[in-house]
Amino acid sequence: MAEFASPVAFDLAQRLPSPRLAGLIARITGYREIATGRFAQRQSAPLIVPLIISFGSPFLIALSRQPSAADRQSSFAAGLHAGPVYIESDGQAACVQVDFTPLGAYRFFGGAVTELVGRMVELDDVLGHEGHRLRERLGAVACWQRRFDLIEAFVLRRARHTPSPDVAFAYRRLARSAGAVSITALADEIGWSRKHLVGRFRTELGLAPKSLARMMRFHRASRLALDGSKLGWAGIAAESGYADQAHLAREFVEFAGEPPTAWARRQALTDRRLVHADDGLPDW
């Protein structure tokens, strides 16, 4: 599989959600590449449901494999995917990305979240004329801050669906434990059968609770490694709820597309100096 360098120059603007959007979205990001070339990135099984509105060259994106020319994606929504996401660009990509929480995705997309799982769906197909109009309005302004304001207002207007209280409770309980709670025990806690809990998770979140729990454990292990844990991989495995280091290594291959040591080397190449302030936003 061919490997290419990550983008060498880009503007990255991020805004955390306002209080009105707490629990609905995790963040809004503005991204613009400013150096031409052929670049590749790999994201590890994200625990978010992204909505991408593009203003530049389309990305090439594929799930759990290297993309081909047929994998051209412009503006789209994508559901949860329990595996790595491979992204290529030509140095002229520009977009706004809204990262919905799993519960927030149901509030925004409703039952359509099940149609997004493991897929990328074009903006017009998932949001219809409203999505097309949003793309036009965002493209008509150049200020990231103004674009973020428009996005927030749009999301609030459409977030009309309400997850069932039991599913919301179960998901938050699972998240607080970083996937460590037994699914059977979780079902017992809310008075459901395990089968019913699994079915309701798939209906409202898109994935079964066991898949989400595995992704949560992986993300906990990733955070420990990125935070400079002195535990070593065996200690990180134990702290994250894996049976042993070999178990952790298998999960990294599945969710990150590479063993933990290779993943760590690639993370070390990320240069945060490329992220800088602009347009007066303090948290870019």
> What is the percent of the chain where pLDDT is above 70?
92
Please state the rounded mean pLDDT for residues 267-275. Answer: 55
pLDDT (mean) for 119-134:
95
Element (H, E) at 10: strand 10-15
Domains in the chain, start-ordered, CATH in brackets? 10-161 (2.60.120), 165-268 (1.10.10.60)
Check pLDDT > 80 for residue 5. no
* Percentage, residues of the chain above pLDDT 90: 83
> Mean of the per-residue pLDDT values for the chain?
90
Please state the rounded mean pLDDT for residues 117-132. 95
The pLDDT of residue 223 is: 94
Instruction: Give residue 277's pLDDT.
Output: 31
> For 224-253, what is the mean pLDDT?
93
pLDDT greater than 50 at residue 273: no
pLDDT bin (cut points 50, 70, 90) of residue 281 is very low
The 10s digit of each residue's pLDDT in 199-238 is: 999 999 999 999 999 999 999 999 999 888 788 999 999 9
**What pLDDT is attached to residue 270?**
65
Confidence at 88, pLDDT banded by 50, 70, 90: very high
Residue 3 confidence (pLDDT)? 52
Given a cut of 50, whether residue 263 has pLDDT beyond it is yes
Stretch 57-74: mean pLDDT, rounded?
Answer: 95
Neighbours of 163 (CB within 10 A): 19
Output the CA angle 190-23-176, nearest 5 degrees.
50
The SS3 call for residue 85 is: strand
Note the pLDDT of residue 1: 43
| Neighbouring-strand partners of residue 41 | 87
Written as one string, the DSSP assignment of 177-234 is TTT-S-HHHHHHHHT--HHHHHHHHHHHTSS-HHHHHHHHHHHHHHHHHHTT-TTHHH
pLDDT grade for 10, boundaries at 50, 70 and 90: confident
Instruction: Give the torsion sign (CA, 217, 218, 223, 225).
Output: positive
Question: Is 210 in contact with 171 (CB distance < 8 Å)?
Answer: no
User: Residue range 72-99: average pLDDT?
Assistant: 95
The Cα 259–Cα 167 span in angstroms is 33
**What's the token pair of residue 135?**
């793309």
- pLDDT tens string 149-197: 999 999 999 999 999 999 999 999 999 999 999 999 999 999 999 999 9
Backbone angles phi, psi at 59, to 5 degrees: -85, 160
How far, CA to CA in Å, does 15 sit from each of 21, 96, 147, 166, 284?
11, 11, 11, 30, 7
In a 13 Å sphere around the CA of 49, the CA atoms on its Cβ side amount to: 31
- Whether the per-residue pLDDT at 9 is higher than 60: the answer is yes
**Three-state DSSP class for residue 63:** strand
How high is the pLDDT of residue 31? 93
pLDDT in tens, 92-107: 999 999 999 999 999 9
d(CA 72, CA 162): 33
